[in-house]
A and B are shown apart, each in its own frame.
Chain A
Amino acid sequence: MGAEFVALSLPPLLIGILAAVTCALPGNFLLLRRQALIGDAISHVVLPGIVVAFLLTGTIATLPMLLGAAGAALLAVILIEGVRRTARIEAGAAMGVVFTSLFAAGVLLLEQSDTSAVHLDVEHALYGNLESLIWLDATGWASLVDPVALSGLPPELPRMALALLIVVLALRLMWRPLAMATFDEGFAATLGLPVRAIGLGLVMLAALAAVAAFDAVGSIIVIAMFICPPASARMMTDRLGAQVGWSVVFAILSAVLGYVAAGYGPLWLGYDNSVSAAGMIATVSGLILGITMLIGPRRHPAGLARQG
């Protein structure tokens, strides 16, 4: 049990947890700024980004993929802002137009290019390949302290850990200005805070989280984790710090329960194959949101609890 768990389940479980938390953290602020769709948009445009990076470089090496995805995310943010301003339509519609168009372009590009030799397809983009991120060098718990075995860890694990570290440090540094600019942008600006740069910084942070997580777990988890854990957390508390804390708890819970349910759930139900871990993790996060909406202590929809 130990050896099998460490080799086959521990790495994908950890990567799932790291990805979930990395996306949920900036998701809190996106949600409060009513920009939750930005996460959706970014995780979609990552696809054309990596396809273009593949066409240019001919490899699916990490760095070009990340750069391509980051470039596409940046392009999407600029396009969204551009569409919003020139067409004078609301931000949500602008995002919808931009990210569906870019995602569709990515699908077309992918179909037209010869990617048969590499592991790059639409399915992979949506669901990721969480279950395949196994650690063949592991022989048991002792491998966790064995440098030789550790060097065989799936590279997604340290990459995701680094992304989480960057997100945590950046949010810690931006916390106060971000909270102020989110609550009262006008007031924040009169203090001399660069409110537009703060907003852009948050989006770039979300892009980093999406790009890093996309490769490992696919866009389904990314989209779900940007929104569901923060939205569930909002039902639990009226304090920002506590909300962010709860969102981390819910993200971890979704990853663990989802992974276990995907791997063993069908067995328990009498089927003999497992289901997509990414899909199950996203589903669990949705279920958690449903539960907190029903029994969370602050379960009022925005605006209903006001008194005159």
Chain B
Amino acid sequence: MVAMKDTNVVQAAPRMGAAHALPPALSVAGLTVAYGEKPAVFSVDMTVAQGTMTAIVGPNGAGKSTLLKAVLGLVKPLSGEVRLFGLALSRARDRIAYVPQRASVDWDFPARVIDVVLMGLHRELGLLRRVRPEHLDRARACLARVGMQDFATRQIGQLSGGQQQRVFLARALVQQADLYLLDEPFAGVDAATEKAIIAVLKELQAEGRTIVAVHHDLSTVRAYFDHLFLINTRAIAAGPVADVFTSENLQRAYGGRLGEAQLAGGAVTG
């Protein structure tokens, strides 16, 4: 599926795939990131076509989050190039939205749910512009999309893990991005939240937007995503889930650490 969103962005050196008229939502070439001496991500190439929904999957410490952070410019790579919609990150910022790991922030921060969602409107609000009813309406609408409309004035520290994750998603929704990058959006959330989040992500995809999520649950890869990127420091395999989600590829990614049951439940069947 190819996004039909009209775009007047000048495409700097677009690298077009044969089947796509649009530049990829995300392209990564030769990306290497290291913390200290050991590379966390080594020489990774990755292409994400517009309008797809991709899971980044791999064992713990495989560099999944690091890859995402390097794409977003949050960690500095040793080498490699990242392009978003054919553009450098600095020119594509208003087209991307990031949903960090829930556990990466201090939820004791003195803010209400609506305050957090309004952070997603920073590009419009700037330093000093007044928050208008229109902004509040949009923030509330995004909260409603994730089923959190009744929690707008709740202190964020009083939310459950799943509710916190929904608030993060609402903050990304209000950004109206073309590419959504999510880090473990289903980690530690309740089943209802997981359902709500995946429903919203599928809606986003239906609107032509692109979704890339770090994902850890092999049993839901097939149901949730259409593309898969397997990584274990190096890229292991990439492509449509139907082609890539095989027990052979998973064994290579997980280095034999994967239980037979997981393989049976995830890849071989279905």
Contacts and interface: CB of A to CB of B under 8 A. Distances in A.
B100 A186 contact: yes
Interface in B111-170: 111-112, 115-116, 119, 122-123, 125-128, 155, 157-161
Residue of A172, A190, A303 with most partner-chain B CB within 10 A: A190
A191 B108 contact: no
- Decide if the interface of chain B is mainly helix, strand, loop or mixed: mixed
Contacts of A173: 127-128
Interface string B67-78: 001001110000
B261 interface: no
Contacts of B158: 305, 307
A192 interface: yes
| Dominant secondary structure at the A interface | helix
B122 A308 contact: no
Contacts of A232: none
A188, A243, A308: residue with the most chain B Cβ atoms closer than 10 Å: A308
B107 interface: yes
Given A238-B157, A305-B157, A305-B158, A183 B122 contact: no
Contacts of A189: 72-74
30 contacts: A32-B106, A32-B110, A172-B128, A173-B128, A177-B122, A182-B109, A183-B106, A183-B111, A183-B116, A184-B100, A184-B105, A186-B69, A186-B100, A187-B119, A189-B72, A190-B72, A190-B93, A191-B93, A191-B123, A192-B93, A237-B110, A238-B112, A239-B110, A239-B111, A239-B112, A240-B110, A243-B110, A302-B106, A307-B159, A308-B161
Interface in A254-304: 302-303
Interface of A: 32, 172-177, 179-180, 182-184, 186-193, 234, 237-240, 242-243, 302-303, 305-308
Given A187-B100, A307-B158, A192 B90 contact: yes
B42 interface: no
Interface in B180-228: none
A307 B160 contact: yes
B105 to A, nearest CB: 5
A174 B158 CA distance: 27
Interface residues of B, number: 35
Interface of B: 69, 72-74, 90, 93, 96-98, 100, 104-112, 115-116, 119, 122-123, 125-128, 155, 157-161, 171
A238 B155 contact: yes
B125 A176 contact: yes
A57 to B, nearest CB: 38
Contact of A238 (B73, B110, B128): B110
Contact of A191 (B106, B109, B122, B161): B122
Given A187-B98, A305-B108, 15 more contacts: A32-B106, A174-B127, A176-B122, A176-B126, A177-B122, A190-B72, A191-B122, A193-B122, A234-B110, A239-B110, A240-B110, A243-B110, A305-B157, A305-B158, A307-B159
